[in-house]
Structure 1
Amino acid sequence: MAQSESSTDDEGAGSGSGPTQVLEFGLGDETYCLDIDVIDEIVDAGQLTRIPNSPAHVEGVIDLRGRTTSIINPKTVFNIDQDGERNRIIVFDPDSIGDQGTIGWIVDEVYQVTNITPDDVDETTTANDENVHGIVKGDDKFVVWVDPDIVGE
């Protein structure tokens, strides 16, 4: 797939005029997306080691190629009550999210990488939520474009 023409320093949906590549993934019955530039890799969900006294959104840790990676459940962060398969882990590039460790989100499914333009994004419905860039209007669905920095909260 072609590299995005927008700068990797763009903060939000409307900051660049070119397309942005996003990864679409499922949490329960809903579809969300993340800027592909903040993602390091996608791996199959494996056995997690629980951390005693950790926040509710921290599912545990996993060893990925010698790196201890904290696994976050975005369903807890976004108050999604639905169960799901929890098949994949989206691992973030530690340099992109401003966190000191390696973090991944456990998600139900990973769908596809798509290009979006600022015209595809409705930012007005998310004006009060700093963790959502906007709603991406697709052919037959809406996709919530989220900010990975929520993982540090």
Structure 2
Amino acid sequence: MTETNGQVLEFELGEETYCVSIDYVTEIVDVGELTKVPNSPDHVEGVMDLRGRTTSIVNPKTVFDIDDRDREAERIIVYDPEITDNAGAAGWLVDEVKQVVQVDYSDVDQSPAEDKESIKGVIKQGEGDFVIWVDPQRVHS
């Protein structure tokens, strides 16, 4: 039997709302002190110690080419280490975490974006409001 719905965590990056499957999320934490890592990719802001585990902190605004550097990220979405190729802990800097919502997969449209690798689709909400559903596993692979 194929699943017809699931839960996603909505969050803001700049002016847009994005979401990820709640299955990937282990916790949400406040932004703490990050340690820069020399020669790391542009999208890696640094690392932080999270309950004794070194966690790589990624800026998804860099990954998705969002040009909104004015707003300060307030939260970090921490993902299950199983989503990364090297099974390392990873988190995303986000401007704000909104809510967990139930999604009917039949309401998810294909993304018109060129980078279809990391975008699962677009969910229409209300009058002209859209939520971009991203796949952190594809971003980290």
TM-score by length of 2: 0.91
**Which region of structure 1 is more displaced relative to structure 2, 91-100 or 16-25?**
91-100
Q: 2:135 aligns with which of 108, 122, 147?
A: 147
- Give me the whole-angstrom Cα distance separating, in 2, the residues matched to 1:111 and 1:53: 33
User: Deviation of residue 120 (structure 1)?
Assistant: 1.4
Report the equivalent of 2:7. 21
Identity of aligned residues (%): 54
Give ranges in structure 2 of 5+ residues lacking alignment.
Answer: none
Give ranges in structure 1 of 5+ residues lacking alignment.
Answer: 1-5, 7-15
Contact 1:85 1:109 in 2 (8 A): no
User: Deviation of residue 151 (structure 1)?
Assistant: 3.7
For this pair of structures, how many residues does the alignment match? 139
Give the direction of change, closer, same or farther, for the CA distance of 1:121–1:94 in structure 2 (3 Å limit).
Answer: same
The answer on 1:31 being equivalent to 2:17 is: yes
Q: Report the structure, 1 or 2, having the larger strand content.
A: 2
- Aligned-residue RMSD, C-alpha: 1.8
Per the alignment, in what secondary structure is the counterpart of residue 125 of structure 1? coil
User: Deviation of residue 98 (structure 1)?
Assistant: 4.4
TM-score by length of 1: 0.84
User: Deviation of residue 128 (structure 1)?
Assistant: 5.6
User: Deviation of residue 121 (structure 1)?
Assistant: 0.4
Report the equivalent of 1:87. 74
